[in-house]
Amino acid sequence: MLFLNAQKPMLSKWQEGFLDIHHINTGRGDAAFMVFPDGTTLLVDAGDMSETHPRTTSSRNAPLVPNNSKSAPQWIVDYIDQFRPKNQKRQLDYALITHYHDDHFGEVDSLRSIAKEGYQLTGIMVVGMLIPIKKLIDRGFHFPIDLKDSEVQSEERFTSDKYGMIPTLKEYWKYIDVQSSATGLENEALKVGHTDQIVLKNDSIGYPSFLVRNIASNGTIWTGENTNTYSLFTQGEYPGENPLSNCIRIDYGKFNYFTGGDISGVNRMGQMDFNSVESHIAPIVGPVDVATLNHHGNRDSQNPYYVRAIRPRVWIQQNWTADHPGEEVLRRITSKELYPGDRDIFSTVMLQGAKDVIGGRLNQYRSQEGHIVVRVYDEGDKYDVFILNDKSEEREILAKHGPYTAR
Residue-wise pLDDT for 72-130, tens only, equals 999 999 999 999 999 999 999 999 999 999 999 999 999 999 999 999 999 999 999 99
The pLDDT, as a whole number, for residue 20 is: 98
What mean pLDDT comes out for the span 251-256?
Answer: 98
Distances in Å between the Cα of 360 and the Cα atoms of 321, 327, 341, 363, 369 are 18, 11, 21, 5, 16
Which amino acid does the sequence have at 289?
A: D
Q: List b or e across 53-68, with b for residues whose CB sees 16 or more CB atoms inside 10 angstroms.
A: eeebeeeebbbbbbee
Q: Is residue 37 reached through a cis peptide bond, with omega within 30 degrees of 0 on the bond before it? A: no
The pLDDT, as a whole number, for residue 4 is: 40
The pLDDT, as a whole number, for residue 8 is: 86
Distances in Å between the Cα of 151 and the Cα atoms of 36, 90, 145, 242 are 42, 41, 11, 22
Residue-wise pLDDT for 317-334, tens only, equals 999 999 999 999 999 999
pLDDT exceeds cutoff 60 at 248: yes
Please state, in angstroms and rounded to a whole number, the distance separating the CA atoms of residues 94 and 186.
9
Band of the pLDDT at 298, cuts 50, 70, 90? very high
Residue-wise pLDDT for 342-377, tens only, equals 999 999 999 999 999 999 999 999 999 999 999 999
Q: Are strands 210-217 and 247-252 parallel, antiparallel or unpaired?
A: antiparallel
Residue-wise pLDDT for 181-197, tens only, equals 999 999 999 999 999 99
Mean pLDDT in the chain?
96
The pLDDT, as a whole number, for residue 5 is: 46
**4: helix, coil or strand?**
strand
Q: What distance, in Å, lies between the first and last C-alpha atoms of the chain?
A: 22
The pLDDT, as a whole number, for residue 2 is: 43
User: How large is the C-alpha radius of gyration of the chain?
Assistant: 20
Q: Please say whether the beta carbons of 303 and 272 come within 8 A.
A: yes
Angle at 12 (CA atoms; ends 137, 260), nearest 5 degrees:
30
Please state, in angstroms and rounded to a whole number, the distance separating the CA atoms of residues 78 and 316.
22
Task: Please state the φ and ψ torsions of residue 355, each to the nearest 5 degrees.
Answer: -65, -40
The pLDDT, as a whole number, for residue 7 is: 75
Residue-wise pLDDT for 132-155, tens only, equals 999 999 999 999 999 999 999 999
Q: Which CATH class is domain 2-405?
A: alpha beta
Neighbours of 159 (CB within 10 A): 9
What mean pLDDT comes out for the span 208-231?
Answer: 98
The pLDDT, as a whole number, for residue 181 is: 94
What mean pLDDT comes out for the span 391-401?
Answer: 98
**21: helix, coil or strand?**
strand
The pLDDT, as a whole number, for residue 219 is: 98
Please state, in angstroms and rounded to a whole number, the distance separating the CA atoms of residues 122 and 102.
9
- Enter the DSSP assignment of 293: P
The pLDDT, as a whole number, for residue 3 is: 41
Strands of 382-388's sheet in order across: 186-189, 133-138, 92-96, 41-44, 32-35, 19-23, 371-377, 382-388, 397-405
Q: Which of 100, 110, 106 is nearest to 123 (CA)?
A: 106
Q: Please say whether the beta carbons of 36 and 44 come within 8 A.
A: no
Query: How is the chain split among helix, strand and coil, in percent rounded to 5?
Result: 25, 25, 50
